[in-house]
Amino acid sequence: MASGGVKVLGTPYSPYVNRVQIALNLKSVDFEFIEENLSSKSDLLLKCNPVNRKVPVLIHDENCICESLTIIQYIDETWTTNGYSILPSDPYDRAVARFWSAYFDDKLVPLMRELKSVQKEEKVAAIERIKEAMVLLEEAYEKCSKGKSYFGADNIGYIDIVLGSYMGWIKAMEIVGGMKVMEEAKTPGLLGWIHKFMSNNAVKSVIPETEIFVKLLRARAIAPPKYS
Amino acid sequence: MASGGVKVLGTPYSPYVNRVQIALNLKSVDFEFIEENLSSKSDLLLKCNPVNRKVPVLIHDENCICESLTIIQYIDETWTTNGYSILPSDPYDRAVARFWSAYFDDKLVPLMRELKSVQKEEKVAAIERIKEAMVLLEEAYEKCSKGKSYFGADNIGYIDIVLGSYMGWIKAMEIVGGMKVMEEAKTPGLLGWIHKFMSNNAVKSVIPETEIFVKLLRARAIAPPKYS
């Protein structure tokens, strides 16, 4: 499909930006990736997203679309010709997909970001809460995947994109923090899913190597990126 | 339309619950309202929403749907026969609706909740930030309403429901706090919109009188309810 003026403003290390890249890849939409320097944001970014001033931004038909979850749904509703659906067609299945995606962004990501600031004894409790959340996601995976590869069953769907985009950061966080938030005994499905997700053609060219995140985390002592 | 087992678990004072009631009213769906005592949550609520343990929950066809934004979209996608659409049909307009609704829930509501805990001098700054956010919403209203009554133009739409459900609490907050976050000079459109929204048949039986919220705020010194 021709580019048709589709542009993505972002940085390659943002899981929120990666979501948009993956969604466009799944829909076979060509796009121009415009890398932003977040310490000196471009006039284009500030013009496109004057409210939140954040990446990702999708530019399509002169319109700017902001916020990763909103962008994924825009992509799903706009490019329908290749027959690929990111959200399921059934309203209840769509609600389930939106529920777990919101749970991840609103509950689990803040827990992971807390790890940066909490003291040693609180860290143990915070890691425990993350592990409990991962077990909930394991149960969600079992239900949604119906014995197939992805949360979206045969194909990568909405939850896959939302959660999967973060897995590089989570792996790096485990390495740098010397801990495990996903364990074979408790989240075998999720661990297998990560491998399948990361190996998918729409994904593997998008999400940077874990080693890069490890270096970024070590160099800047940063937590995984904030919600956008 | 027959009830067909449609139930809403909630409390009448929660704006998140009110969203669900308004959406069902707009779609002319009869439903049973099951009032929850949030200090002693029912087994039904805990069974339906074991993850977040919050209202609202919509029960339909034996399925439980949780989180107000997800529920509104479920309602919009499920009951399509009366020709009423809550979200616009155009993907870009849908993205705009989702953007401002997320902005309200993720940015403005936390600002309002902050008012409860901040000290006196910080309170002035916090109120100023809320006013700035209201001016952004005023601009959004001008664009979305296209000179008509609602964010959804001729009819109450997604943004109307999300923002409007909170207006009783905001009015009460202004009264109890002795301040204004919306002023005729800066947000004339929003002030006119509130009146039209509150007078709509789908809304006026749902949102309690402001005086009730004033009493609740004064009695319990509570901030507006948390996101759900």
- Tens of pLDDT along chain A (228 residues)? 444 589 999 999 999 999 999 999 999 999 999 999 999 999 999 999 999 999 999 999 999 999 999 999 999 999 998 899 999 999 999 999 999 999 999 999 999 998 888 888 888 999 999 999 999 999 999 999 999 999 999 999 999 999 999 999 999 999 998 999 999 999 999 999 999 999 999 999 999 999 999 999 998 755 666 655
For B39-77, the pLDDT digits (tens) are 999 999 999 999 999 999 999 999 999 999 999 999 999
Rounded to the nearest 10 degrees, what angle do helices A68-78 and B91-103 cross at? 170
Nearest residue in chain A measured CA to CA from B78: A91
CB-nearest to B51 from A73, A91, A103 is A103
Superfamily the domain A7-78 falls into: Glutaredoxin (3.40.30.10)
User: B71 vs A95: CB contact, 8 Å cut-off?
Assistant: yes
Helix (H) / strand (E) element for A164: namely: helix A158-164
The 10 Å CB-count burial string (b at 16+, else e) for A73-99 is: bbbbbbbeeeebbbbbeebbbbbbbbb
pLDDT of amino acid B185: 97
Is A63 in Cβ contact with B98 (below 8 Å)?
Answer: no
CA nearest A36: which of A19, A14, A21? A14
According to DSSP, the β-strands at B7-10 and B32-35 are parallel
* Strand duo A63-66 + A57-60: pairing: antiparallel
Q: Which residue of B has its CA nearest to A136?
A: B51
One of 1.10.287.610, 1.20.1050.10, 1.10.10.60, 3.40.50.2300 is the CATH number of A91-220, namely 1.20.1050.10
Give me the amino acid identity at B168: G
Question: ipTM of this model?
Answer: 0.94
**Interface touch A73/B95, C-beta < 8 Å:** yes
Which pLDDT belongs to residue B2? 44
CA distance B41 to B47: 10
Chain A residues with CB-CB distance to B94 below 8 A? 73-74, 77
Q: Which residues of A touch B (CB under 8 A)?
A: 51-52, 61, 63, 65-67, 69-71, 73-74, 77-78, 91-92, 94-95, 98-99, 102-103, 106-107, 136, 227
DSSP state, residue B60? E
Burial state string for B69-97 with b = 16 or more CB within 10 A and e = fewer than 16:
bbbbbbbbbbbeeeebbbbbeebbbbbbb
Cα–Cα distance measured from residue B104 to residue A113, given in angstroms and rounded to the nearest whole number: 22
Q: CA nearest A95 in B: which residue?
A: B70
Residue B227 confidence (pLDDT): 52
The domain segmentation of chain B, as residue ranges, is 7-78, 91-220
Contact A155, A161 (CB under 8 A): no
